[in-house]
Amino acid sequence: MEKRTKKIPGQTGRYIYAITSGVEDRSFGTIGINGSNVYTISSGEVSAVVSDAPSGRIRPERRNFAAHQAVLKKLLETGDLLPMSFGNVSEGSAAVRKFLAKHQKSIIDGLARVAGKVEMGLKVNLDVINIFEFLVNRNEELRTARDQLIGRSREATQDEKIELGRLFANILDSEREDQTDFVEKILLKACSEVKRNKCKDEREVMNLACLIGRGQTDKFEAVVFEAANHFDDNFAFDYNGPWAPHNFVEVDIKS
């Protein structure tokens, strides 16, 4: 049975923050988007953590993002959860229950995957002035290709420049792959899973999401420093967390 809460006129939708195990009615106070009350809607063995909201799109404003994250932080303090991405609004309570019922098995499997765990992030960036020159100094093949191109009496053609750029990109990707393989092996001493996210720019060497046990942040920090000790000062290691395990959720709220 849905927990009785004071409804706000026009708030016919349900904004979904996360899914948790258990079916007891719970209320977390007015910590949701626009100061809305956050509570649970249950079906089967799991519950969605929601607040009332207008049906349709929630504006991606800073204050809304902050409220969403504040709810996830509160939930993370109380137990395991499958966090939903920002902006998921169902048509109402019945739609939430229908979703929970339809995806019950995958939700339960997902909760088992993250049980007793939190997410840590690790980014490694190149802290150099010129990435191309940095790689030229490290890679003989790229250095030879560069020297041959600039050593000609005529100006390089556009195709030749494109080919040099392609070689640079391939070598950069290959080095990233090797370096990530190396770091991941060390991280797995403290992580149950490591997920590789796409690098956002040339300076980013790796962007990793790491699933670790609650209370294991010190152990995670130790293996990050162990990995960093194998790299020179041109590589900057930056870790953060703990977070709700966003990168380890495979339930699609829209399906």
What distance in Å separates the CA atoms of residue 65 and residue 29, rounded to the nearest whole number? 18
Positive or negative, the Cα torsion across 214, 215, 221, 223? negative
- When pLDDT is cut at 50, 70 and 90, the band that residue 8 belongs to is very low
Instruction: Kindly give, in sequence order, each residue whose CB lies less than 8 Å from that of residue 238, ignoring residues fewer than 6 positions away.
Output: 122, 123, 124, 125
pTM of the model: 0.86
Predicted confidence (pLDDT) per residue in 38-76, tens digit: 999 999 999 999 999 887 778 889 999 999 999 999 999
Which two three-digit tokens encode residue 9? 């006129």
Beta carbons of 18 and 83 less than 8 angstroms apart: yes
The larger pLDDT score, comparing residue 122 to residue 253, is at: 122
Looking at residue 153, its pLDDT comes to 64
What percent of the chain lies above the pLDDT cut of 70? 93
Looking at residue 151, its pLDDT comes to 72
What percent of the chain lies above the pLDDT cut of 90? 79
Please name every residue paired with 47 in a beta bridge, in sequence order, or none if there are none.
Answer: 20, 42
What distance in Å separates the CA atoms of residue 187 and residue 240, rounded to the nearest whole number? 14
Looking at residue 62, its pLDDT comes to 94
Cα 80 → chain centroid: 17
- When pLDDT is cut at 50, 70 and 90, the band that residue 3 belongs to is very low
pLDDT at 117 over 90: yes
DSSP character string of 148-192 = HHHTSSSPPPHHHHHHHHHHHHHHHHHHHHHHHHHHHHHHTTT-S
Predicted confidence (pLDDT) per residue in 169-226, tens digit: 999 999 999 999 999 999 999 999 999 999 999 999 999 999 999 999 999 999 999 9
Predicted confidence (pLDDT) per residue in 120-178, tens digit: 999 999 999 999 999 999 999 999 988 888 877 677 788 888 888 899 999 999 999 99
Looking at residue 252, its pLDDT comes to 66
Looking at residue 158, its pLDDT comes to 85
